[in-house]
């Protein structure tokens, strides 16, 4: 991971309305994002995902590559996703937010 976690914390302000991360993080409009690297898309118990995300999870795992693609263009990468977010325009913002999320990933 090449991003800057401190810069990514600021980018994450745009995610916070819907996602929590860190100790005790709960699902909100979107699922909690702890330990995201290596998670199967759509696997958080008690969160109601779109069918599109459940299907996507049958053939993908969240890693740097899949997360980068999804965050750049959520509705193109997971057609039918219910994440109402247009995507991050700059690759640097994605690298930074992934570096931030990695600080909540023990692996
Ligand atoms: C799903 C990240 C912004 C709502 C997800 C997932 C990730 C993610 C990684 C998949 C989680 C999983 O498979 O368990 C982010 C990041 C954001 C962001 C990093 C900011 C850059 C938002 C915003 C909203 C939102 C602003 C609400 C308006 C959702 C919802 C899902 C989701 C509802 C489930 C999608 C589905 O079932 O199709 N997000 N998200 N997210 N996110 Fe976001």
CATH number at residue 52: 1.10.760.10
Atom of ligand 1 nearest to the CA of 54: 37
Range of the domain at 56: 5-102
Q: Does the residue 79 lie in any domain?
A: yes
Report pLDDT digits (tens) over 37-94. 999 999 999 999 999 999 999 999 999 999 999 999 999 999 999 999 999 999 999 9
Ligand 1 neighbours, Cβ below 6 Å, are 14-15, 17-19, 29-31, 33, 36, 41-42, 44, 49-50, 52-53, 67, 71, 78, 81-85, 88, 97
pLDDT band at 107 (very low <50, low <70, confident <90, very high): confident
Q: Does the residue 107 lie in any domain?
A: no
What would you report as the CA-atom Rg of the chain, rounded to the nearest whole angstrom? 13
Atom of ligand 1 nearest to the CA of 78: 38
ipTM exceeding cut-off 0.95 for this assembly: yes
Q: How far apart are CA 38 and CA 66, in angstroms?
A: 10
How many structural domains compose the chain?
Answer: 1
User: Residue 22 corresponds to which tokens in the numbers above?
Assistant: 């860190």
């Amino acid at each position: 991971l090449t991003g800057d976690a401190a810069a990514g914390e600021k980018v994450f302000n745009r995610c916070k309305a819907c996602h929590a991360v860190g100790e005790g993080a709960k699902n909100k409009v979107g699922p909690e994002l702890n330990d995201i690297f290596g998670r199967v898309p759509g696997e958080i118990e008690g969160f109601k995902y779109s069918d599109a995300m459940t299907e996507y999870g049958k053939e993908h795992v969240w890693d740097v590559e899949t997360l980068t693609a999804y965050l750049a263009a959520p509705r193109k990468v997971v057609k039918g996703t219910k994440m109402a977010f247009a995507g991050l325009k700059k690759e640097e913002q994605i690298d930074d937010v992934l570096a931030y999320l990695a600080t909540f990933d023990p692996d």
